[in-house]
Structure 1
Amino acid sequence: MDLGMWMPDGPAGWIVLAALVAALGWLAARKLPGRMFGLTAAKRLATQRGWLVKISPGAGAGGSGWDAGTVPGTYLEFLGEHQGLVMHAGERRIRTTTSAGTPGEPRRYWRHDYVITVAATPASGQGQLLAVYPAIQQWEQGIFDELNSGMRPRSGWVRNGDGMFSTGRRGHRLSKKQLLADLDRLAALARSR
């Protein structure tokens, strides 16, 4: 069997093939960074920056301290210092159902939501990070509840109060590029107030 047999014969065929390859490339560029970030790059980024990281594919044990386990559904968590301020980022995985697909049969899938928070508290060591963690966790729980209830905030939204600045997205995985961009933006907001 010759590979040339499967190649397009004319310009229209090459245009269709180019469009197909471009669409697959766009899809891979959109989905792959978030998937790869949770597997490998998250630990490497945390090590480079001196952050604490937890990656737990299953439901956690719960608790309010860093060592007590994760909130159920939490897939990825960072706690550390960014530009001298306390930061936390968390990604949760939620099992959802949609009616798309075969009529009468619901489709189940995992939806990823993330929230990134910067506290206006100066980070003076790991003890300070661990002391602020329960308050950040409680603050983010309200945001995750809103995202889970169907809230679809516009891109770039920021929620603030109690000396904390947060942003997040529903239905998106956390990526290194997005995490660092949001941290820089939130740290600038925290310093300006």
Structure 2
Amino acid sequence: MKLSTFLATLPLAAAHSQSRRRCSKHHPDPEKCIFQPVCTVTTEEMFHIKQYYNRKPGMTPEEFNRYWAYEHAARSRPMHLRLGVFRYSQYHSTPEYRDLLRVDGVPPILEFDGAAEYWVPDLETFAAMGSDPEYLNNIQPDEANFIDLDSLRIIIGVDYILVENQNAVEEHGRTF
């Protein structure tokens, strides 16, 4: 299947699954959780840092995702809030998700199990995370419980947002 053919089928599937614009079936009470657009501060003027990595050898994708989402997040969230991280998100990718795009005409799929994404107002905030005593004594040692540290890759850049909350962005916080 060509990439263009595959992509053409996605809107039909998305329209069917998102027709009521509710939270996922995994939400504790999906019938009470209706999509609400939110007012956001632009992230264009911030640094956006991503760390890509794989799960620790011997760990299943399910074990990795569960541990990272619940155990590790509970350890790291207070530090992120205290240091002024604007946004921290986890990007979970399973072999099944990656297989969805393994079709003719699609470029190679990155083989990472996840990416941690940080939006910070300055690089000092990100540097402070790496030297924070809570990180050094509690969070960093915990990373060895679920991350293959040899697989770690990092990228840093800035966002140039074109669509946000289904609205075209016409004024930008950044120029190139």
With the shorter chain as reference, the TM-score category is under 0.3
Larger radius of gyration: 1
Output the TM-score relative to the length of structure 1: 0.23
Specify which structure has the bigger relative contact order, considering alpha-carbon pairs within 8 angstroms and separated by 6 or more residues.
2
Point out the structure with the larger strand share. 1
Point out the structure with the larger helix share. 1
